[in-house]
C-alpha cells in the first residue's frame, strides 16, 4: 500500500507539472500573439486614420447612461477641435506617420472657427511632405471646407457635393400663438434683439434682416476666401450661385459635377480609395482584407501624444454651449459648475487664466456667477485673456467682459449685447372655452401672476423696468471692460450681432487669434518663455463609462455614411428639433436671458441640456413657475 501511495503521488505530481507547463506555454503563446499582432489601441507605422463620425465641438458633452439607453436614437458623436488639431500637429512631426486619412463619410459639421483651425493643421501636415487624403459619400459646406485643405479629395461615384452658404429661414409662431389665443408677453431691450421675434411676429423684422445680411455676408466672404486660397481651381461662383445649371451640365451626376468644378480630385469607391492609400503607406500584413493598410486610430494616437505638463500652469476654463443655472455640463455651460471649477482652482499657482468661450449665451444670473468667479482670479493679479471660438455672443460676451485681452477670429460671432424674457399667459385661451377669473385683491400684485386673468399693468411695467435695468448692467460691464462710455457701449449693443472682424473695429475685440495666441499672450504677460509653461484645463476628464457608452451607442445606426439626399433629410430633422427647442424656450421656467437666438449653430452647438435647469432669475422665473 505504501508503494502504491508513492506511485499515486508521483503520478499526481507529474500531472500537476504538465498542467503547469502547458499553462505557461499557453499564456506565453498568447502574450506573443497579443504583442506581435497590432491592436486598435496600438500606434503603428503607416497612416493616421481620423474617422470624424459626428460633430466637432469645443467641449464634448457627457452621456447620461439612463437617457442614452432609453433614447429612441443614438447620441451624436463629438470630437473636440483642439484634440483633432493636436493629433494632426503630432502627425506632422512623427516619422511613424506617412500619411493622414480623414474619413468624412459621417461628418456632421463644425463651427467656422473650428474648421479654420483644423484646416490650418492639415496644411501643416502637408508642409511636412505628408499627404492628407479625405473620403466621403457626400460633402456639404463644412466637409468641402476641410477637404479643400487636403492633398487628395475622394468622392464616392454614387455621392455628390453641395455648397449652400450660410443663412436660411427661421420659423415664426405668432400666427399659431394667436390662433391658440396665447398671450406671449415679451420684455426686451435692443432694436436688434431678435431672439423673441418668433413669438411676436410672423416674419423677420427689417433691423433683424439688416443684421443677418451683414453677419452672414461676412461669414460667407471668409468661407469663400479660405476655400479659394486652399483650392484655387474650384469654381465657387458656378457651384453656389447657379447650382441647378451646374448639376444639369453634368447630366444630373452629382459626383461628376463635383469633379468638373474642382471640388474633388478623384471618384472611387471605398476599395479604390484604400488601394490608393496602400500605394502611399504600404500593405497591412496582419489583415486578410483586400487593400488593407496599416493605420493608427484617433484615440490611440491621442493617448500616445499627451498634452505637455512641464513648467508653470496657465489655467484654461471652457464655457461651451448654452449658459444655464446649475451644474449642467460639460457641453452645456452650467453656471454653478463653472464657477465651482474656477473657485476650486484659486489655490493653484496659475501664471494666468484663459477663458475659452464658445457660447450663444443664456441665463443672466449664470453668466454673472461665472463672471464673478473670473474676477476672483483676476483679483490675484494674474493676467486674464478670453479666447472666442465660433460664438461668444450675448451671455457669451457678458462672461468675456473681465478680460485684460480678448482674442477672436474674423469668423467669430460675437456681440448681441441685450437681454430679454418671455412669459406666456392664457387669459384669451381660457375665455375662449368659457373659463374666466375673478377675485379680491389687496394690491396691484396680489394673486400675480394670474395665467388665466392675465398680468396687471403694474406687473408689466415692473418686468420691463427690470429688463431695462439688466441691460444697463450689461452696458456697464461692457463699458468698464472695454474702456468705453455707456453711450459708446449702447451704440455697439442694442442686441446687434457682429462678425469678429467688425467687432475688432468696434473695440469689442482686441486682436485676431485663437487659443494658442491667447495662451502665448498670457505667458508673455507672466514673463514666461517657451517651455516654461503648460496649459492646464479645468474640469473632469471623461469617465470610462462615458467612453464605453460612446463606443457602443454613437453612430451605430448609420455605419454606411450619407449621400446628398440623406444630408438634406437630416436638415429637416434639425428643423423639427428647433421647433421643440423654441417651444421649450417659450413655455420653460426661464428668467432674464442674454441669449443670441440668431447665431447659427452646428448640430453639436444646438444640443440642449436635459437636466432640470431650475432657472430662478428673479421675478421672471418666479412668475413662470
Nearest to 89 by CA among 117, 54, 57, 59: 117
Using DSSP, state whether 197 is helix, strand or coil.
helix
CA 610 to chain CA centroid, nearest Å: 17
Does the active-site annotation cover 394? Answer: yes
Q: ∠ at Cα 412 (408, 415), nearest 5°?
A: 90
Phi first, then psi: give them for residue 362, nearest 5 degrees.
Answer: 160, -130
Q: How far apart are CA 298 and CA 381, in angstroms?
A: 39
Does the active-site annotation cover 193? Answer: yes
Q: How far apart are CA 567 and CA 489, in angstroms?
A: 41
Q: Is the peptide bond before 330 cis (omega within 30 degrees of 0)?
A: yes
Q: How far apart are CA 305 and CA 317, in angstroms?
A: 22
Point out the catalytic residue in the list 193, 359, 367, 479: 193
Q: How far apart are CA 509 and CA 517, in angstroms?
A: 14
* Residue pointed to by grid coordinates 436638415: 571
Using DSSP, state whether 384 is helix, strand or coil.
strand
CB 195 within 8 A of CB 494: no
Q: How far apart are CA 580 and CA 571, in angstroms?
A: 15
Q: How far apart are CA 194 and CA 418, in angstroms?
A: 10
Q: How far apart are CA 129 and CA 449, in angstroms?
A: 68
Nearest to 416 by CA among 466, 359, 335, 372: 359
Q: How far apart are CA 479 and CA 126, in angstroms?
A: 44
Q: Is the peptide bond before 596 cis (omega within 30 degrees of 0)?
A: no
**573 burial type by CB count under 10 A (0-12 exposed, 13-18 middle, 19+ buried):** exposed
Q: How far apart are CA 163 and CA 144, in angstroms?
A: 8
All three cell numbers of 22, joined, read 502547458
Which residues touch 161 (CB under 8 Å, ≥6 apart)? 138, 139, 140, 143, 144, 155, 254, 255, 257, 258, 263, 264, 564
Tell me the CA distances in angstroms from 55 to 58, 439, 498, one per residue in order: 10, 54, 24
Q: Where are the alpha helices (DSSP H) in 109-190?
A: 112-127, 141-147, 174-179
Q: How far apart are CA 618 and CA 53, in angstroms?
A: 42
Nearest to 340 by CA among 124, 538, 509: 538
Q: How far apart are CA 616 and CA 232, in angstroms?
A: 53
User: Which DSSP string do the residues of 231-267 spell out, in sequence order?
Assistant: -TT--HHHHHHSHHHHHHHTTT-HHHHHHHTTS-SEE
Q: How far apart are CA 495 and CA 471, in angstroms?
A: 10
CB 591 within 8 A of CB 616: yes
Point out the catalytic residue in the list 394, 400, 416, 466: 394
Give the pairing type, strands 183-189 and 419-425: antiparallel
* Length of the chain, in residues: 625
CB 624 within 8 A of CB 587: no
Catalytic site positions:
193, 394
Amino acid at each position: 500500500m505504501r508503494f502504491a501511495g508513492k506511485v499515486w503521488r508521483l503520478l499526481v505530481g507529474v500531472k500537476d507539472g504538465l498542467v503547469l507547463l502547458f499553462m505557461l506555454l499557453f499564456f506565453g503563446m498568447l502574450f506573443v500573439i497579443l504583442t506581435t499582432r497590432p491592436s486598435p489601441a496600438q500606434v503603428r507605422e503607416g497612416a493616421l486614420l481620423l474617422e470624424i463620425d459626428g460633430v466637432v465641438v469645443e467641449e464634448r458633452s457627457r452621456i447620461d447612461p439612463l437617457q442614452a439607453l432609453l433614447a429612441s436614437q443614438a447620441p451624436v458623436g463629438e470630437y473636440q477641435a483642439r484634440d483633432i488639431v493636436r493629433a494632426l500637429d503630432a502627425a506632422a512631426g512623427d516619422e511613424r506617420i506617412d500619411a493622414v486619412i480623414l474619413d468624412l463619410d459621417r461628418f456632421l459639421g463644425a463651427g467656422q472657427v473650428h474648421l479654420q483651425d483644423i484646416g490650418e493643421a492639415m496644411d501643416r501636415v502637408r508642409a511636412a511632405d505628408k499627404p492628407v487624403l479625405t473620403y466621403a459619400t457626400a460633402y456639404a459646406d463644412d466637409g468641402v471646407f476641410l477637404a479643400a485643405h487636403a492633398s487628395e479629395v475622394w468622392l464616392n461615384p454614387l455621392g455628390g457635393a453641395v455648397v449652400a452658404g450660410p443663412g436660411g429661414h427661421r420659423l415664426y409662431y405668432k400666427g399659431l400663438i394667436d390662433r391658440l389665443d396665447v398671450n406671449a408677453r415679451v420684455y426686451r431691450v435692443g432694436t436688434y434683439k431678435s431672439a423673441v421675434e418668433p413669438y411676436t411676429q410672423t416674419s423677420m423684422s427689417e433691423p433683424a434682416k439688416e443684421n443677418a445680411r451683414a453677419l452672414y455676408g461676412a461669414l460667407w466672404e471668409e468661407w469663400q476666401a479660405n476655400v479659394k486660397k486652399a483650392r484655387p481651381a474650384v469654381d465657387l461662383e458656378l457651384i453656389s450661385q447657379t447650382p441647378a445649371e451646374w448639376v444639369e451640365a453634368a447630366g444630373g451626376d452629382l459626383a461628376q459635377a463635383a469633379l468638373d468644378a474642382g471640388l474633388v480630385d478623384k471618384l472611387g469607391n471605398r476599395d479604390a480609395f484604400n488601394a490608393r492609400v496602400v500605394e502611399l503607406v504600404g500593405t497591412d500584413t496582419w489583415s486578410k482584407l483586400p487593400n488593407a493598410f496599416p493605420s493608427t486610430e484617433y484615440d490611440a494616437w491621442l493617448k500616445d501624444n499627451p498634452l505637455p505638463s512641464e513648467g508653470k500652469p496657465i489655467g484654461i476654463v471652457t464655457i461651451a454651449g448654452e449658459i444655464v443655472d446649475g451644474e449642467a455640463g460639460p457641453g452645456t455651460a452650467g453656471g454653478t459648475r463653472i464657477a465651482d471649477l474656477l473657485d476650486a482652482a484659486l489655490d493653484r499657482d496659475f501664471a494666468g487664466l484663459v477663458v475659452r468661450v464658445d457660447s450663444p449665451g443664456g441665463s443672466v444670473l449664470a453668466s454673472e456667477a461665472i463672471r464673478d468667479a473670473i474676477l476672483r482670479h483676476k483679483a490675484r493679479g494674474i493676467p486674464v485673456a478670453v479666447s472666442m471660438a465660433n460664438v461668444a455672443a450675448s451671455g457669451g460676451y457678458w462672461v468675456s467682459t473681465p478680460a485684460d485681452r480678448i482674442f477672436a477670429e474674423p469668423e467669430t460671432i460675437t456681440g448681441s449685447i441685450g437681454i430679454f424674457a418671455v412669459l406666456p399667459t392664457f387669459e384669451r385661451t381660457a375665455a375662449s372655452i368659457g373659463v374666466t377669473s375673478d377675485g379680491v385683491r389687496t394690491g396691484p400684485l396680489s394673486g400675480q401672476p394670474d395665467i388665466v386673468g392675465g398680468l396687471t399693468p403694474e406687473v408689466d411695467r415692473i418686468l420691463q423696468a427690470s429688463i431695462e435695468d439688466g441691460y444697463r448692467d450689461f452696458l456697464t460691464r461692457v463699458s468698464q471692460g472695454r474702456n468705453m462710455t455707456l453711450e459708446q457701449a449702447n451704440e455697439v449693443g442694442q442686441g446687434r450681432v457682429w462678425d469678429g472682424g467688425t467687432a475688432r473695429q468696434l473695440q469689442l475685440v482686441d486682436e485676431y487669434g485663437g487659443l494658442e495666441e491667447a495662451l502665448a499672450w498670457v505667458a508673455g504677460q507672466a514673463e514666461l518663455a517657451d517651455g516654461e509653461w503648460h496649459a492646464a484645463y479645468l474640469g473632469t476628464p471623461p469617465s470610462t463609462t462615458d467612453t464605453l457608452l460612446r463606443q457602443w451607442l454613437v453612430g451605430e445606426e448609420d455605419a454606411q455614411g450619407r449621400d446628398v439626399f440623406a444630408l438634406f433629410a437630416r436638415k429637416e430633422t434639425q428643423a423639427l428639433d428647433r421647433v421643440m427647442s423654441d417651444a421649450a424656450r417659450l413655455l420653460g421656467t426661464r428668467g432674464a436671458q442674454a441669449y443670441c437666438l440668431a447665431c447659427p449653430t452646428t448640430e453639436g452647438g444646438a444640443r440642449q441640456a436635459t437636466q432640470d435647469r431650475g432657472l430662478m432669475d428673479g421675478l421672471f422665473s418666479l412668475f413662470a413657475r
